[in-house]
């Protein structure tokens, strides 16, 4: 029996939009960052649709309703209906409904999307711990403050189940990562000492629901986070494409654990439209285009051979070679202690990816 191939090494001889029938797209950091579309992505998604790929939108951001998210997407020239969107608020509402039944009292903490999803599922929304909620559902909301967090603490201490729509510590923004729902969930759990039940990605329920709705036979998860999108895709049994337009940078990717290593890598969601190069073993090294990566203990070395094969053209061949070289020798999650450049081109590439050499 041969071992499973190292993630990223197989590439794709066809563009993913020709191989996969449905893209399960994360939103923050993939389609948009803050209010604005990632440049070029609406056009790329339109081209993927033209090539026959269908799109589903799966977001851990619980703040808005599917209708609001679909409206935002459509305004960014990514036409979508509410049925195309699955939020982690919906996933949390489904879990609470299954546990406590229709009409159960629930205290929401978060944006309007949390309350709307609970009501849509037939649950009873209350706002005070004295109303004896059976669950507190906590999702991202820009206006969440001390008063709501305190109410959640009292309710959970009185026996309510603490349900978190997701545990993402950060949300991407044009100013860099900012506090995400996981950070505020941590405030409540730090006071109550109770671990929350997390219902969003990487729990596979949302991806599974999107597969069910779309009838996908060969879905591809497209995301910017390793611990939610990529790990969620693994748990759902789907392939994954990591894009670098959100919170993951080269250093985070290199340190990824086995469950968080993506199948494909691209600068942005335009990677749906391009072929992906293979990374092949070459002696003690791994080669991608003109780049080779070599792992020596805790040291990782990148080199470029200008006379060698031409590059794939998205500027990430060297990073692919480094990742595969490192992961092939690291069964667990561990960042290389040192990343070294063998030549000036490699040094420039490491600088461009923010990797200190
Ligand atoms: Mg994201």
- pLDDT digits 0-9 by tens, 242-285: 999 999 999 999 999 999 999 999 999 999 999 999 999 999 99
| Residue 205: predicted pLDDT | 85
Ligand 1 center to 307 CA (angstroms)? 38
Fold of 16-60+202-273: Rossmann fold (3.40.50)
Residues with CB under 5 A from ligand 1 (ion): 26, 28-29, 224, 246
Ligand 1 center to 249 CA (angstroms)? 13
Identify the active-site residue in 21, 28, 263, 268: 28
Delimit the domains of the chain by residue range. 16-60+202-273, 88-198, 280-352
- What's the mean pLDDT when you consider all of the chain? 94
The pair of three-digit structure tokens given for residue 334, joined into one six-digit string: 């561990």
User: Tell me: the pLDDT tens digits for 321-357?
Assistant: 999 999 998 878 788 889 999 999 999 999 999 997 7
Identify the active-site residue in 26, 84, 168, 229: 26
C-alpha torsion sign, points 216, 218, 222, 227: positive
Question: C-alpha 304: how far from its chain's center?
Answer: 31
pLDDT exceeds 80 at position 240 = yes
CATH architecture under which domain 280-352 falls: 2-Layer Sandwich (3.30)
Ligand 1 center to 263 CA (angstroms)? 17
Question: What is the Cα–Cα distance from 335 to 47, expressed in whole angstroms?
Answer: 37
User: Tell me: the pLDDT tens digits for 159-213?
Assistant: 999 999 999 898 888 898 899 999 999 999 999 999 999 999 999 889 988 898 8
Query: Residues with Cβ < 8 Å from 227, sequence gap 6 or more?
Result: 168, 202, 260
Ligand 1 center to 133 CA (angstroms)? 31
> Is 28 among the residues known to form the active site?
yes
pLDDT exceeds 70 at position 3 = no
Ligand 1 center to 342 CA (angstroms)? 34
Ligand 1 center to 242 CA (angstroms)? 10
Query: Residues with Cβ < 8 Å from 246, sequence gap 6 or more?
Result: 26, 28, 29, 30, 33, 172, 223, 224, 225
Ligand 1 center to 272 CA (angstroms)? 17
Question: C-alpha 220: how far from its chain's center?
Answer: 12
Judge whether 16-60+202-273 and 88-198 match in fold. yes
pLDDT exceeds 50 at position 1 = no
pLDDT more than 90, % of the chain: 85
* Nearest alpha-carbon partner for 37 in 73, 84, 81, 65: 73
CATH number of the 88-198 domain: 3.40.50.1000
Query: Residues with Cβ < 8 Å from 241, sequence gap 6 or more?
Result: 16, 220, 221, 222, 223, 262, 263, 264, 265, 266, 269, 271, 272
* Nearest alpha-carbon partner for 172 in 314, 265, 35, 62: 35
pLDDT exceeds 60 at position 2 = no
| Residue 9: predicted pLDDT | 97
Query: Residue 97 in 3-state DSSP?
Result: helix
- Which regions of 124-238 does DSSP assign to beta strands (E)? 124-125, 135-138, 161-164, 170-171, 178-179, 197-198, 219-223
CA distances from 305 to 146, 280, 311, 345, 350 (A): 57, 15, 11, 9, 15
Beta carbons within 10 angstroms of residue 283's beta carbon: 8
């Amino acid at each position: 029996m041969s071992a499973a191939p190292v993630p990223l090494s197989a590439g794709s001889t066809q563009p993913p939009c020709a191989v996969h029938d449905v893209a399960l797209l994360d939103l923050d950091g993939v389609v948009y960052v803050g209010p604005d579309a990632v440049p070029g992505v609406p056009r790329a998604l339109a081209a993927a649709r033209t090539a026959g790929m269908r799109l589903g939108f799966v977001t851990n951001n619980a703040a808005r309703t599917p209708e609001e998210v679909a409206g935002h997407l459509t305004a960014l020239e990514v036409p979508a209906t509410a049925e195309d969107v699955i939020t982690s608020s919906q996933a949390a509402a489904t879990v609470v409904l299954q546990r406590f039944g229709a009409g159960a009292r629930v205290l929401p903490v978060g944006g309007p999307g949390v309350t709307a999803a609970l009501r849509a599922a037939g649950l009873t929304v209350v706002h005070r711990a004295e109303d004896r909620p059976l669950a507190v559902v906590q999702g991202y909301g820009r206006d969440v403050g001390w008063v709501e967090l305190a109410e959640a603490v009292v309710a959970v201490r009185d026996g309510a189940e603490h349900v978190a729509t997701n545990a993402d510590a950060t949300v991407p923004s044009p100013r860099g990562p900012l506090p995400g729902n996981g950070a505020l969930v941590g405030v409540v759990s730090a006071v109550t000492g109770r671990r929350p039940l997390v219902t969003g990605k990487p729990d596979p329920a949302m991806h599974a629901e999107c597969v069910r709705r779309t009838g996908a036979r060969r879905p591809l998860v497209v995301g910017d986070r390793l611990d939610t999108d990529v790990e969620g895709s693994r748990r759902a049994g789907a392939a994954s494409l990591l894009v670098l337009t959100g919170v993951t940078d080269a250093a985070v990717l290199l340190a990824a654990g086995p469950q968080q290593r993506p199948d494909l890598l691209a600068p942005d969601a335009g990677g749906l439209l391009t072929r992906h190069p293979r990374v092949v073993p070459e002696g003690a090294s791994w080669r991608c285009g003109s780049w080779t990566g070599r792992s020596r203990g805790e040291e990782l070395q990148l080199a470029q051979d200008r006379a060698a094969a031409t590059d794939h053209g998205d500027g990430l061949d060297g990073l692919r070679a480094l990742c595969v070289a490192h992961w092939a020798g690291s069964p667990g999650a561990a960042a290389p202690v040192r990343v070294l450049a063998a030549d000036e081109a490699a040094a420039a590439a490491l600088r461009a990816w923010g990797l200190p050499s």
